[in-house]
Amino acid sequence: MKKQWLLILVGSLLVLTSCMNKANEPKAKYVFLFIGDGMGISQVYSTELYLASLNGNRQTNNLNMSKFPVQSYMTTYSSNSWITCSSASGTAMASGFKTNNGVLGKDSTLTINFESIAEKAKLAGYKVGILSSVGINHATPASFYAHQNSRGMYYDIAMELPVSNFDFFGGGGFITPKGKGENQPDAYENAEKSGYTYIHSKESIQNIKKGSEKVLAVNPFLLSKAEFAWEIDNAKESISLAEFTRKGIELIDNPKGFFMMIEGGKIDWACHANDGAASVKEVLAFDMAVAEALQFYKMHPDETLIIVTADHETGGMIIGNENEPNLGLLMNQNVSAQEFGRLLVNVQQTNPKATFEQIMELVQQHFGLGSDSKGLALSAMEIAMLKKAFDETFDGSKGLDPDKEYLDISANKTIPDVAVYLLNHKAGISWASNDHSATEVPVRVIGPGQQYFTAPIDNTDIPKIIAKLMGL
């Protein structure tokens, strides 16, 4: 009798242990975390309305991310502000802890380094990839591997990158690769010395094969802050975020699994400039990168988790003003506000006596403004706004700075500012500011564990849920 009881006890223990082991098993072996910088609900919805307008219908769930089964939202505030910045929000999404705006991967007293979900995954034997369309040492990607008192310490962040030992870094280059001191090593050389294969031509990036240990792949075509060209400017020499995502998957796919963070960094920059058309094109490019992850998901649906979210909203974008929204009008803009600024600087230099009428021709050519047939006729007041900008900024000395990260549109001072403002207004887009807002951001999820994202969450919940699902 005693023996029988013992057998039952041992049997039950065995069943219990096997259940516990099952509970510890990772449910999500492949995790993609997509962060659209500055991508609020309206940034996504304006892109959906743009596509609906091009398709001539009222179907709005026309992006890859809008078809995900979980469509929720998330709060983003930081330790010291309702309005977060990319480093505080990046830190929250990477580590599960809030910090002050401007701080990177550390607590607000600057004494504790937070371990990121990417660092945890790497330690547990997963492969890790970090991708961004802006500098790879910019706040969002850096939140996953660096720990610095300030997000602006670009050189120190760049030098910290190889310490992570992560398997793939792709996209933008280093902002400030050289330190201020004379004897400070170049950050690219430092990465190579630490065992990274640094590649930066289209050919070498396309040809690199699996088995290359650690890779730092940088887009050969970059702008002044080591970021991708604007999507709307259609730089042919550039490699897209989607291509980088595909290459990243190819390189780090392995039987143990991986964690990959992909940032669409210039949605934020477009919205700082209140440039709706540029924002739409950046969201589309970001969604194409999501499509690459979806391809992978289709091969491993039971083990692949894709999360698409944002660090914060930028610009306080709202669809609606006294005009009926017609996002299709944005199609008439074929250049970013920033690139149009550069183009005008070039005109100033080659033809300083250019007349207002000549500049208006350029405005029409690049924004459609002034064209009746395109539905973009200008009122006398709107022409006066452009004339004022022309009078105040077209003497070659002020107003136009092509190297600025984004334009200061707050006072609608320059010709590109006014052109963008008028086109956005006619398309039905309004803006609250040139900066981030406190509004919640979208959370779209597909894959094992998606049910944990159905209720609204906080940005600190993201790594906690991922850790649970990856068994970290």
For Zn ion, which is the closer residue by CB, 233 or 268?
A: 268
Please work out the total of residues on this chain that contact Zn ion, with binding judged by CB under 5 A.
Answer: 1
For Zn ion, which is the closer residue by CB, 243 or 268?
A: 268
**Which among 198-206, 214-222, 267-275, 366-374 is the span making contact with Zn ion, rule CB under 5 A?**
267-275
- Residue 292 found at the interface with Zn ion (CB under 5 A): no
- Residue 268 found at the interface with Zn ion (CB under 5 A): yes
**Which among 199-207, 268-276, 395-403, 439-447 is the span making contact with Zn ion, rule CB under 5 A?**
268-276
**Which among 5-13, 207-215, 260-268, 347-355 is the span making contact with Zn ion, rule CB under 5 A?**
260-268
- Residue 167 found at the interface with Zn ion (CB under 5 A): no
As measured in angstroms, the least distance from the Cβ of 88 to Zn ion is 12
For Zn ion, which is the closer residue by CB, 268 or 339?
A: 268
- Residue 160 found at the interface with Zn ion (CB under 5 A): no
For Zn ion, which is the closer residue by CB, 271 or 344?
A: 271
In the bound state, the residue with its beta carbon closest to Zn ion is 268
For Zn ion, which is the closer residue by CB, 306 or 337?
A: 337
For Zn ion, which is the closer residue by CB, 60 or 80?
A: 80
Stretch 415-444 residues interacting with Zn ion (CB under 5 A): none
Per-residue 3-state assignment (H helix, E strand, C coil) for the chain: CHHHHHHHHHHHHHHHHHHHHHHHCCCCCEEEEEEECCCCHHHHHHHHHHHHHHHCCCCCCCCCHHHCCEEEEEECCCCCCCCCCHHHHHHHHHHCCCCCCCCECECCCCCCECCCHHHHHHHCCCEEEEEECCCCCCHHHHCCCCCECCCCCHHHHHHHHHHHCCCEEEECCCCCCCCCCCCCCCHHHHHHHCCEEEECCHHHHHHCCCCCCEEEEECCCCCCCCCCCCHHHCCCCCCCHHHHHHHHHHHHCCCCCEEEEEEECHHHHHHHCCCHHHHHHHHHHHHHHHHHHHHHHHHCCCCEEEEEEECCEECCCEECCCCCCCHHHHHHCCCCHHHHHHHHHHHHHHCCCCCHHHHHHHHHHHHCCCECCCCECCCHHHHHHHHHHHHHHCCCCCCCCCCCCCCCCCCCCCHHHHHHHHHHHHHCEECCCCCEECCCEEEEEECCCHHHHCCCEECCHHHHHHHHHHCC
As measured in angstroms, the least distance from the Cβ of 298 to Zn ion is 33
**Which among 170-178, 225-233, 266-274, 356-364 is the span making contact with Zn ion, rule CB under 5 A?**
266-274
The pattern of x and - marking residues 359 through 398 that bind Zn ion according to CB under 5 A reads ----------------------------------------
- Residue 461 found at the interface with Zn ion (CB under 5 A): no
As measured in angstroms, the least distance from the Cβ of 114 to Zn ion is 21
For Zn ion, which is the closer residue by CB, 268 or 292?
A: 268
Give residues in contact with Zn ion (CB under 5 A).
268
